[in-house]
Structure 1
Amino acid sequence: MAIPVADATTYGEDAAGFVSDNSQIQGFSSLHDSGTGGSPSLGNFPLFVHPGCPEDDYTKCNYTSEQRATPRINGTATARPGYFSIGLNNSVYAEMTSTMHASLFRFNFPSTAEVYSSGFMVPSSPLILIDLMDLGYSRSGGEVSVNPRSGRMKGSGTFRPSFGRGEYTAHFCADFRGAEIHNTGTFLNLNATDEQQALDSLGSGTSIPPGSAGTWIHFARPPKNQIMARVGLSFISEEQA
Structure 2
Amino acid sequence: MRFPGAPMVCHVLLLETESGLVLVDSGFGLQDIADPEHRIGPFRHVIRPVLTSEETALRQVERLGFNPDDVHHILLTHFDIDHIGGLSDFPRAQVHLSAAEAQGAIHHPSFTERQRYHPLQWAYGPAIVEHAPGKEVWRGFSGVKALVDIAPGLLMVPLPGHTRGHCGYAIDTGGRWLLHAGDAFYYLGTLDGRSKVPLLACIQERLLAFDFRQVRNNHARLAALQADAEPDLDIICAHDPALFHKFAPAGQ
TM normalised by structure 2 equals: 0.30
TM normalised by structure 1 equals: 0.31
Structure showing the higher strand proportion among its residues = 1
Structure showing the higher helix proportion among its residues = 2
